[in-house]
Each structure stands twice: as structure tokens, then as C-alpha cells.
Amino acid sequence: MPDGPDNEPQIQIATPGGSTLGFLTEGMVGPVNPHWPTLVGQRVTFAYRCDSPNEVDATYGRVTAAGYEGRRAPWVAFWGQRYAMLSDPDGSRGDLFAALTSEGQA
């Protein structure tokens, strides 16, 4: 962990393999997932970067059409990404995200 991020709502750490680990405070998670405190035992969410906002929508559609639970359909998040929430077969959350286009459209 980097030194000094105690007051930050989110910290991101790039790994040598090209993945990014993100740590968020409950204050950051709560507004976008009001059920977070009721998710017994789940304190970790994996987020998957998509190449575009349209890929977030298309991937969410394919996954939910295959029968998996969509926790929150794609939306434009206040932090500047197209974002969606899904559940894996065990009920753990997996998110999809992509940077918004230069026009700010999703």
C-alpha cells in the first residue's frame, strides 16, 4: 500500500502483471450499492475493465441473458465511468467498467 492514503475514498495499485487492485472505503461503496452492509461475508469485489462503454452494456447483456444475476444495470457513474454490477454463481459481485468517451456519452 502506498504511504499516506488514509483519507482517500479509493486507492489503486498497479500490479506487475498489468492488473490493478482497487481499495474503496465503505463511504464510497455505500452510495452506489445500498445493500453493501447486508452482504454478509463479501468484502471483496472483482472489477473487469472493458474497452468501451458499449462493451460494458454488451457484456452485461450477454451475462444476464445467460441467466446470471444483474445487481445493477449499466449506468454512468459520477466518477467518470460506465459501470455495472453482476453476481457470479456463488453470489459474489463482479463489476464491469469502462472510461466514458470523450463526448461524455455512455
Nearby residues of 10 by Cβ (< 8 Å), 6 or more positions away:
22, 23, 24, 25, 28
Predicted local distance difference test score (pLDDT) of residue 19: 76
Segment 73-106, tens digit of pLDDT: 999 998 899 999 998 887 788 999 999 975 444 4
How far apart (Å, rounded) are the C-alpha atoms in residues 61 and 78? Answer: 22
- What are the Cα distances from residue 82, in Å, to 13, 30, 43, 55? 21, 18, 22, 10
For residue 79 the three cell numbers come to 466518477
All domains in the chain, ordered by first residue = 44-106 (3.10.180.10)
Q: pTM, whole model, 2 decimals?
A: 0.64
Convert 5-14 to b/e letters by CB count within 10 Å (16 or more is b).
eeeeeeeeee
pLDDT class for 64, splitting at 50, 70, 90? very high
Segment 4-49, tens digit of pLDDT: 666 777 777 787 888 777 777 777 777 777 766 555 556 677 888 9
